Structure 1
Amino acid sequence: MEPISHWHLIIVFLAIALVSQSLTNVEGRTHYHKRPKNKGSPPTYAPSPQAPYVPPSPAEPPPPTVPSDPSVNPGDNSSSSCVFDVTTFGAVGDGTTDDTAAFMEAWKAACAVESGILLAPSDYVFTITSTIFSGPCQPGLVFQVDGVLMPPDGPECWPESDSNKQWLVFYRLDQMTFTGSGTIEGNGEKWWELPCKPHRGPNGSTLPGPCNSPALIRFFMSSNLVVSRLRIQNSPQFHMKFDGCEGVLIDKLSISSPKLSPNTDGIHIENTKFVGIYNSVIANGDDCISIGTGCSNVNIEGVTCGPSHGISIGSLGLHNSQACVSNITVRNVEIKDSDNGLRIKTWQGGTGCVSGITFDTIQMENVRNCIIIDQYYCLSKACRNETSAVYLTDVSYNNIKGTYDVRSPPIHFACSDTVPCTNITMSEVELLPYEGELVDDPFCWNAYGSQVTLTIPPIDCLQDGEPENMGEVVSYGC
C-alpha cells in the first residue's frame, strides 16, 4: 500500500452530513503468534459530503481547525523521503520481540519533518510496551499501521516499570492522523479474567486484588486529529479515549471485543470539543460510545453499535462534582442486542447541566432500556438520595423505531426529586417487543416535556409544560 498523503485543514464549525454506509460485521478475537499473510490493499472510500454549521458570532472565540475527511487526499506528498518505516529502524515484527525502541526512533524522525509518516508495514506483527508519543511535531504527521500492533500479552508480561493504566498515548499533538489498513490487537483476555473484575467472584461479586487495566489508545491534550480505517480489538479496558482534545474526526473504524469483556468502552471522550464520529462498527462489553463531562459539539452519525451497553452520556456528577455537556447529536445509528440504547446517567449530588441533546433516526433491535434517563445511577447499595443533581434540559427523541427486550420498559425517565428534567421532546417513537407481549408501562419521575406524536408504547407520565420551581435551577448554567 502506498502511504497516505497529507490532509489539508478546513477551519469550520464541525458538522458533517454523511451518507450512511453498510460496513462489514466485526470479527471475533484473533490470536497473533506469527506474521499474517498480506490481506491486500484497503478498500477505497468515496469522499463524504461536508456541510458547515453557521459560523459563530464574532464575539465568540474561533473554533479549532478540524481535519477534513481522511478519504480525501488532495495534493501529492508521497515522496519516500517523508516515510519512516519502523523496520529500517530495527523493528523485527515477529510478534515476540520488543520493538518499542524502533518505534520511538521512527517517531522522532517523522515528528521532525512536515507531513512525516511513521509506517508499520503489512506482513509484520509488532509488539511494543506502554509508550507516550509526544509532541509538538511538525504539521501533517501520520502514524500508519498496515500490519498488526499489540501490547504484551497480559498482566504477567507487562513490564513493572510501565503504567498499567494506558498503553499507547498521543500527547500534545496538532494535525495528526492515526490510520492504516492494519489491526491494533489489545490482548485483553488475561486482563478481563483478573479476580477483581465484575462477576468474577462468588455469587456475582468481585474479589480483592490489583485491578488496574490499561486503556488501549489515549489522545491527551491534542487538537485537529483524524483516526480512520483501523481495526481496534480486544482492549484490556477502554479501546480509545480522548481527553482534553479539540477537533477530532473518527471515520470508518472497526472496534470489537466480546460481549462480556468488562469495561471495554469503544470510544470515550471527556473534556473534548468539536468531535465527529462517523461510519463505524462497534461491538464490545460496555458503552459503544461514552461521553463524559466537558464535552460539547459532538456529532455521531452512521454508527452501528452492538452488542454493547449502548450510547451513553455519563456517568456524570460522581463525588458531587460539576458536569457540563452540551450540543450532542446522534443520528442515523443502529443499536442492536444491547443492554441499553440511548442513555443519560448521572449520580446523585452532582451539579452542572446537560443540554441540547438530539437523538434522531435511531433503529433499535432487541435492545433493553431503549430510551433511559437515570439520575439515580449507582454501582452499589450505599448511594444516598441527594438534594442536588445535574440539570437535564432540551433532550429530543425523534424517529426512534425498532424492537426492545421485554425484561425492562423501553422508556424510562427517572429524574431527580429536586431538579426536574425539562423540555423532553418525543416524536415518532415506535418501539415493539422483540418477542413476547407489549410492555405498556413506561416510567417517568419528575420529567417534563411534550409528545409531538403519540408513542408506541403509549406514554402518559411525561408532564406538560415546566415545573413551578424552575427558578431554583437557573444557576445550573444551561
Structure 2
Amino acid sequence: MKLKIITLFVIITSISLTAANHAHMIRQSKMHNMKQKNPLLFNVLAFGAKGDGLSDDSKALLAAWKSACKISGAVIEIPSELKFLIKPVTLQGPCMPNLVLQIDGIILAPAKIATWTKFSLYQWINFKWLHDFTIQGSGTADGQGYNWWDSSSHNSQIKKVKKIPSIKPTALRFYASNNITVRDISIRNSPLCHLKFDNSKGVKINNITIFSPGNSPNTDGIHLQNSQDVEIQHSNVGSGDDCVSIQTGCSNIHVHHISCSPGHGISLGGLGKGKSLACVSNIVIENITMLNTLYGTRIKTWQGGLGSVKNVSFSNIQVTDVKYPIMIDQYYCDKINQYACENQTEAVAISGVEFNQISGTYAIQPIHLACSSSFPCIDVVLDSIQLQPSKKYGALIQQQLCSNSYGKSSGLLVPESMDYCVRSGSDFIRRISRSHDVSC
C-alpha cells in the first residue's frame, strides 16, 4: 500500500514539474526571441513579468507602458501561452501616436474581493488621456468576477458579514481618449461592465468577443457615455445585462453585425435619472441577431428627466425567443416594485425613432411603447415588422402595449394590430414633445 502511495506521489509531482518546466521553457523561449532587438517591441517579460498566473505582473506592465509611451508606433506585447496577474492599474497618456497594446496571452484580474482596495473599485484597467491607440491580439482579459456576482444578494446582513463593496469594477475603461481601436481580443467575466468609454471620440470596436453568464448582474458588454463617433461591428456579446448600452451625451453611434446572447439586448438609457439632462442623437443599430435575450431594441427613460432622444434607427434585427423585441419605456424604474417610483410630468422627449425589418419570435410581448402623456413619442416609424409568438413560451404571451406614440406604419406588420400602435400627430403634440430640444 505504501509503495502505491509513493508511486502516485511521484507521478503527481512529475506532472506538476513537467507543467512548471513547460511554462518556464515558454518564458525562456520568448525571452530569447526578445534578444533579437526590435526597438519598437516592449515585451512585459523583459520588464520582469513572470507569466505564471500567480505572481503580480502589474509593475512589469506599467514599466513596459512607461517606456513604450515615449516612442511612436511602439508595441507593448503580452505574449501568448502565458497568464499574467494584473492588479488594478491606470495606463495613462498622453503618449506618442500609434501605440499598440498587443494582448496574445491571458491577463487576469484579482479573483478575491479582499485584494481590491477602496482606490481601485471603479475599474480594473483604466486607459486615460490616450490618442491614436490600439488594443489588439488573440488573447483574453479575464475579470474573474465570480465572487462579485455570488455576493450580489439583496440580503443586507449577508453583505455586512462578507464586507462586499457597493461599488464593483469595470474591466476595461477608457476615459477622455480619442481615435481608439479595440479589435480581435476577448473580454470575459467582468465584475461589472466589460468595456466602457467615457468622454471619448473616434472609437472603433471590431471582431471582439465579450462573455459573462446570463445571471451575472449589471455586466454590460459595451457601455458608452458622453462619447461620439463610435462604430461597433462584427462582434459577439453575451452578458447579464445590456449587450450594448448607450447613455447620455452619445451621438453618431453605429452598431452593426452584432450577435447578442445572453443579455438584455441593445439599449439607449436609462436616461434622465434624478431629473438629469439626457441628450442622445443620431444612433444607427442594424444587422443584429438576438437569441433568448430579455429585450431586443429598447429606449428607456426615467420620469422627471430633461433633454431629448432623436434620430434613432433600428433595422434588420433578427430575434429568436426574445421576451420584448421592441420597447420604448418612458416610465423606466429599476426598483423591483415599479410603483415605488414617483410619478412625474417631466420627461426626456423622444422623436424620430424607426423600427424597420424586425423579425423572428417573441416570448412575452411583441411591442411595448409606453410613452409619456406629457411628452409623447413623435415621428415613430414601424416598417416591415414580422413577429410571431414563440412556441416555447405560449403561457407567457401578452397583448402588445402602445400608448402616446405618434408617427406612421408601413409594410407588412405582424401581428396586424401593430398598425394601431402609432397615431397621426397634431402640431400641438409636436410642440410639447420638442419643447426640451433647446436643453441639448
Superposed pair shares fold, TM > 0.5: yes
Percent pairwise identity = 40
The aligned residue for residue 47 of structure 1 is none
SS of 2:432's equivalent? Answer: helix
Does residue 373 of structure 1 match 2:355?
no
The Cα shift of 1:385 comes to 1.1
**Residue 437 of structure 1: how far off its partner (Å):** 5.1
Counterparts of residues 441-452 of structure 1 (less than 5 Å): 441-452=399-410
Give the distance between the partners of 1:36 and 1:310, measured in 2 at CA. 43
What is the aligned partner in structure 1 of residue 141 from structure 2?
A: 184
User: Which residue of structure 1 lines up, in the alignment, with residue 213 of structure 2?
Assistant: 258
> How much has 1:432 moved relative to structure 2?
0.5
Aligned residue runs from structure 1 range 315-334, under 5 A: 315-334=270-289
> Do residues 104 (structure 1) and 62 (structure 2) align?
yes
Q: Aligned partner of 1:461: which letter?
A: C
Question: Structure 1 residues 37 and 391, CA, compared in 2 at 3 Å: closer, same or farther?
Answer: farther
Paired with 2:144 and 2:119, the residues of 1 have a C-alpha distance of 16
Q: Describe the superposition over 1:154-192 as per-residue Cα deviations: whole angstroms up to 9, x where unpaired.
A: 30232x364112110100000000111101011000011
Does 2:433 align with 1:433? Answer: no
Q: Equivalent residues in 2 for 1:357-396 (5 A)?
A: 357-380=312-335, 381-396=339-354
Where does residue 19 of structure 1 map in the other structure?
none
Counterpart CA distance in 2 for 1:206 and 1:315 is 29
Paired residue type of 1:349 = G
Contact 1:35 1:125 in 2 (8 A): no
Q: Which residue of 1 aligns with 2:294?
A: 339
Alignment partner, residue 74 of structure 1: none
Question: Against the structure 1 CA distance between its residues 461 and 161, is the aligned structure 2 distance closer, same or farther, given a 3 Å change threshold?
Answer: closer
Aligned counterpart, 1:145: 103
For residue 306 of structure 1, report the CA deviation from its aligned partner. 0.9
Amino acid at match of 1:183: T
Rounded to whole Å, the distance in 2 between the matches of 1:377 and 1:133 is: 36
Residue 43 of structure 2 is aligned with which of 85, 95, 101? 85
Q: Which has the larger radius of gyration?
A: 2
In 2, the alpha carbon distance for the partners of 1:141 and 1:367 equals 41
Read off the aligned partner of 1:431 and give its amino acid letter. L
Q: 1:109-132: CA deviations, max 9, x gaps? A: 110000011001012100111111
| 1:206–1:374 CA distance, 2 compared to 1 (3 A) | farther
- Secondary structure of residue in 2 paired with 1:279: strand
**1:389-442 superposed Cα distances (whole Å, 9 cap, x missing partner):** 00000000111000111xx21100001120000011011100001215595732
Once the two structures are TM-superposed, the CA of residue 150 in structure 1 deviates from its matched residue by 1.3
State the secondary structure of the residue aligned to 1:92: coil
Q: Equivalent of 1:238, from 178, 193, 198?
A: 193
What corresponds to 1:117 in structure 2?
Answer: 75
2:422 is aligned to 462
Per-residue displacement from partner, 1:128-148 (whole Å, max 9, x unpaired)? 111110100000000111000
CA contact under 8 A between 2:199 and 2:226: conserved in structure 1? Answer: yes
Give 1:468 shift: 2.6
| Cα distance change of structure 1 residues 452 and 143 upon mapping to structure 2, 3 Å threshold | same
Gaps of 5+ in 2: 1-19, 27-35
Instruction: Give the deviation of 1:454 after TM superposition.
Output: 3.8
Q: Which has the higher contact order (CA 8 A, sep 6+)?
A: 1
Structure whose residues are more often strand by fraction: 2
2:13 matched residue in structure 1 = none
Q: Matches of 2:112 and 2:174 in 1, distance apart? A: 22
Whole-angstrom CA distance in 2 between matches of 1:354 and 1:88: 50
Q: Give distance in 2, aligned partners of 1:472 and 1:255.
A: 41
Contact 2:199 2:227 in 1 (8 A): yes
Deviations 1:72-92 (A, max 9, x none): xxxxxx982100000000000
Aligned residues of 1:89 and 1:102 also touching (Cα < 8 A): yes
Spell out the pairing of 1:6-25 with structure 2 (5 A cutoff). Answer: none
Letter in 2 for 1:134: Q
1:127 equivalent to 2:94? Answer no
User: Aligned AA for 2:213?
Assistant: P
Aligned to 1:5: none
2:150 matches 1:193? yes
Aligned length: 399
| Change in CA separation of 1:161 and 1:434 when aligned onto 2, cut-off 3 Å | closer
Q: 1:332 & 1:319 partners in 2: Cα distance?
A: 34
Taking the aligned partners of 1:293 and 1:97, their CA distance within structure 2 comes to: 40
Say if 1:36 and 1:124, in contact at 8 Å, map to a contact too: no
Over aligned residues, Cα RMSD in angstroms?
Answer: 2.2
Equivalent pair of 2:378/2:430 in contact (CA under 8 Å): no
Change (3 A) 1:320 1:227: same
Q: Following the alignment from structure 1 to structure 2, what is the Cα–Cα distance between the partners of residues 449 and 206?
A: 50
- 3-state SS in 2 of match to 1:274: strand
Question: Are 1:170 and 2:127 counterparts?
Answer: yes
Provide the TM-score with structure 2 as the length reference: 0.87
| In structure 2, distance between residues paired with 1:316 and 1:433 | 30
* Conservation of the 8 A alpha-carbon contact between 1:442 and 1:457: no
C-alpha deviation, 1:473, in angstroms: 3.6
